[in-house]
Amino acid sequence: MKLLSRKTIIAAAAIAGLGGLAIAAAPTQAATRVASSASAEVGADLTPGDLASLPLTNRHLTKHERANLAVVLRDYHVAEGNSLDVDTFVNSFAKDGVFNDMVPGQAYRGKALGAVLPYMANLFPDVHRDLKRITVNGDVISIELSIQGTFEGPLQSPAGTVKPTGARIDVPTADFWYLHNGKVEMFNCFVGYSTMYAQMGVNFDWASAVNKH
């Protein structure tokens, strides 16, 4: 496969709008927890059993913290390839809420939020987020995870279309959620794009950068 320049790779990341992802309004009985390898429906207030199955750094959470965590976990669920729910994702943000894809420096607000999940699912129809470490501190939830899936959809880049290869990805990611009154005000996502593109068969073209000087 033809190597793409670093500029092209960063531009492709900006187009992708990928994220570690998802979000929500006030938790309901449909709130969903996502453990590291499975998901199941739970109520708005996570039970001790729910918490025991999660990779939490602190299990002594207040009721408010449990409610916030239920919101975030439900949102990961609606971002999964087999349970995609764009409306829930979009409606989960506060009116001025923002999703920041931090590595390429892209911000999504309002109607633009609706394009984030479909793009990811188009690239990786079986997209899944493996939650590895969850820290809850009031209205802030920090999560170490990996984005997993199969490269089965075309990647549109400034250099042209990268055809799917069926390659598996397992990408290190860090998500930081900031909630207020049951809504996500800000979601900052840091995706290991260099790892992701390498696993997809797209690599940095260091030679072109060296030859410029």
Helix (H) or strand (E) holding 196, with range, is helix 193-200
Q: Where are the domains of the chain?
A: 6-210
Place of tokens 């089965």: 152
Write the CATH number of the domain with boundaries 6-210.
Answer: 3.10.450.50
What secondary structure letter does DSSP report for 121?
H
Residue 25, pLDDT score:
27
CA 42, CA 60: separation in Å to the nearest integer? 18
pLDDT above 70 as % of the chain: 77
pLDDT of residue 133: 98
**In this predicted structure, what is the pLDDT of residue 161?**
92
**CA distances for 167 relative to 67, 120, 154, 212, angstroms:** 37, 15, 12, 32
Task: Check pLDDT > 50 for residue 153.
Answer: yes
Q: Which residue type occupies 114?
A: G
pTM check: above 0.75: yes
With b for 16 or more beta-carbon neighbours within 10 A and e for fewer, the 89-98 pattern comes to bbebbbeebb
**Lowest-pLDDT choice from 1-5, 74-78, 173-177, 179-183:** 1-5
